[in-house]
Structure 1
């Protein structure tokens, strides 16, 4: 299951503490591991999302892309922004649509077939309250151009 399965690029707005906001086009290579499990008789799912990002361009004069600390901070911010997007999407589907479009039930079935036999008839009800933990791991591979915008008065 890949939440970014059909996505190969996205414009993402990243909050960075010293810049306020940065908007940059990002290309992704992604893969996910989805694991289902039972804890205290209740199903739960964990997602490990791995991403390799290529920044196409950055429009900011205060961002030094040659500094490894800047790259680390960008990776952390991409992790947070995409993780928040995943969480919002999953919660919306759970609360509004009440249908497991992500295949979480399949993950539970793979991990514990006996528990799945008990859950499958009421899976839509269990899915609504299913706890999902998300772990993001973004690595920036390639850097594109940095546009320095200067405004003349």
Structure 2
């Protein structure tokens, strides 16, 4: 989490790096192709970004600095912090988070090319 000073407050860059192994799949994507794996990774990235934004909305409603953003701002901008620490509860809800998610699928386990059925094979 990295704070950045903006015009009327702070923006928090939240870098989320995820890597994992796809152990089994029944999806319709052909996971033997790099493009399909990229699509899958992009889909996972969007899902994680949605989860991060939903979590931020919940924390913001509670006006509770559970992620510890005050400490991050204090460390990176100590002079600015001296000016705003007295009204942090007013500054906190104005924070903007910028989740940047990167997903790496490091290995594919049990997967196969999707079976494409030709209607003529079934009917013939």
Find the aligned partners of 1:124 and 1:142 in 2 and give their Cα distance: 45
**Contact kept? 1:36, 1:110, Cα under 8 Å:** no
Calculate the aligned-residue CA RMSD, in Å: 1.9
Greater per-residue strand proportion: 1
| TM-score after normalising by structure 1 | 0.68
* 2:29 partner SS: coil
Alignment partner, residue 100 of structure 1: 65
Does residue 9 of structure 2 align to residue 82 of structure 1? no
Greater per-residue helix proportion: 2
Tell me how far 1:74 sits from its aligned partner: 0.6
Aligned counterparts, 1:4-153, within 5 A: 34-60=1-27, 62-95=28-61, 97-146=62-111
* 2:25 partner SS: strand
CA displacement, residues 83-131 of structure 1 (integer Å, 9 cap, x when unaligned) = 1110111111101x11110011111112110111122222222111211
CA displacement, residues 42-88 of structure 1 (integer Å, 9 cap, x when unaligned) = 1221112111121122123x221111100010111111110111011
Higher relative contact order (CA 8 A, sep 6+): 2
Larger Rg: 2
Count of residue correspondences: 114
* 1:49 partner SS: strand
| TM-score after normalising by structure 2 | 0.82
**Structure 1 residue runs without a partner (length 5+):** 1-33
